[in-house]
Structure 1
Amino acid sequence: MTEDDLRTQLLDAAARLLDADGADAVTIRETARQCAVSHGAPRRYFPSRTTLLGHLARRVAADLTADLDTTDGSPRELARAYIAFAARRPHAFDLLTRHDLVRSSGADLRSATLPLVERWRNAWCAEHSTGTEADALVRLAAVHGVASLVSHRAHEAIGIDPDGLLDLALRPSG
């Protein structure tokens, strides 16, 4: 097995742990155990849990980007893909917004997530010629709120229809 193979296997195992039980379950020791390697082996690639989580978050951002790439690029379809990702991978979705967990990881999560924000802003402004960048960001915040409700299934507990909320969030102002 090459070093790149082991790194990939470690990230695959960490992603499975994340998806099953959340970021708290992702540890170097458990990731190593999942790959049947010594608990010291991952430290060659991920010297700390923070580093592991940072690289895992970058992978999650790439996964979300791939999902968004399957849309037609319109704000509505980007929003639907974003919400669907949050529903399908709630713990991964949460990790994307946990810059506090990965700040000192060296993985530079912002460089992976800011293009997603820019993509939304560009799509919103292209579809709404009178919309401002601030308007686009307010809409993104609303879409993120819907996605967060869905990822935690809170919409079920309070009886809110996510599609109805999304329609309100994407309604042009004025």
Structure 2
Amino acid sequence: MGTRRRLIDCASELLDSEGVEAVTLRRIAKRAGVSHGAPLRHFAGRAQLLSAVATLGFQELYGRKDELPDGSPREVLLAACHSYVDFALARPARFELMFRHDLIDPADPELVRHSSAVFDLFAGMVAAVPSAGWRAGTDPRLAAASLWAALHGLARLWLWGGLAEASFAPDVTAVLAVTLESYLDQRVDMINHCP
């Protein structure tokens, strides 16, 4: 394995074990067993290295499409929504980093390519749901953006404890079902995909 890849892997391990703030170039270099200056020979700076790690997060999120069940477009979309929240709860530091434009370079070509692929996949799932399943006149890409924002906000609030400790929110699945019902005309069955 090359040094560049080892630095990305070590940064990923640090991120997952200790959180976003622990991922410094010095700590990454130490964990990788290279000199303190080695990361700067492979990356322009911390933001570029963290962008590579965030890209891995989007690749992982995109790869979850292979785990979605066969079914109607609506069932696939609902499973994808559950999968998104599940990813956030299972990988909280990685999820946080993927959207921290103060830490990553949002214009990094690989990051843009992979994050766009995730959104395009999700927007395609939204568009595949028959128009009768959405509120009348809803543009599928705008619906996808709004639904993604709702899922993201739900996951962040749950991770921060803003909803997890609320007596009216027994688990994230119940809150997710209500969120999805607000977008779709039909009742959403509470499928327990999330921890």
* Alignment deviations for residues 5-34 of structure 1 (CA, whole Å, 9 cap, x no partner): 222211111011111222221111110100
The two structures, once aligned, show a CA RMSD in angstroms of 2.1
Give, as a single letter, the amino acid of the residue that structure 2 aligns with 1:76.
L
SS of corresponding position for 1:62: helix
| Equivalence for 2:62 | 65
Match of 2:77 among 54, 59, 75: 75
| Equivalence for 2:192 | none
| The 10-residue stretch of structure 1 (135-144 or 103-112) with the greater mean CA deviation from structure 2 | 103-112
Superposition pairs for residues 132-171 of structure 1, below 5 Å?
132-133=139-140, 134-159=142-167, 160=169, 161-171=171-181
Superposition pairs for residues 6-155 of structure 1, below 5 Å?
6-72=3-69, 74-103=76-105, 106-130=108-132, 131=134, 132-133=139-140, 134-155=142-163
Q: Is the 8 A contact 1:52 1:105 kept in 2?
A: no
The TM-score with structure 1 as length reference comes to 0.86
SS of corresponding position for 1:120: helix
Question: Offset at 1:104?
Answer: 6.7
Q: Is the 8 A contact 2:62 2:117 kept in 1?
A: no
Would the alpha carbon gap of residues 68 and 153 (structure 1) be closer, same or farther in structure 2, given more than 3 Å must change? Answer: farther
Following the alignment from structure 1 to structure 2, what is the Cα–Cα distance between the partners of residues 49 and 107? 16
Following the alignment from structure 2 to structure 1, what is the Cα–Cα distance between the partners of residues 59 and 86? 15
Q: Is the 8 A contact 1:58 1:112 kept in 2?
A: yes
Question: Offset at 1:129?
Answer: 2.1
Query: Identity across aligned pairs (percent)?
Result: 30
Q: Is the 8 A contact 1:10 1:31 kept in 2?
A: yes
Following the alignment from structure 1 to structure 2, what is the Cα–Cα distance between the partners of residues 126 and 104? 29
Would the alpha carbon gap of residues 28 and 72 (structure 1) be closer, same or farther in structure 2, given more than 3 Å must change? Answer: same
Following the alignment from structure 1 to structure 2, what is the Cα–Cα distance between the partners of residues 88 and 106? 25
Q: Is the 8 A contact 2:26 2:36 kept in 1?
A: yes
Greater helix content = 1
Question: Matched residue pairs, number?
Answer: 171
Task: Structure 2: state its 5+ residue gaps.
Answer: 71-75, 187-195
Give, as a single letter, the amino acid of the residue that structure 2 aligns with 1:66.
G
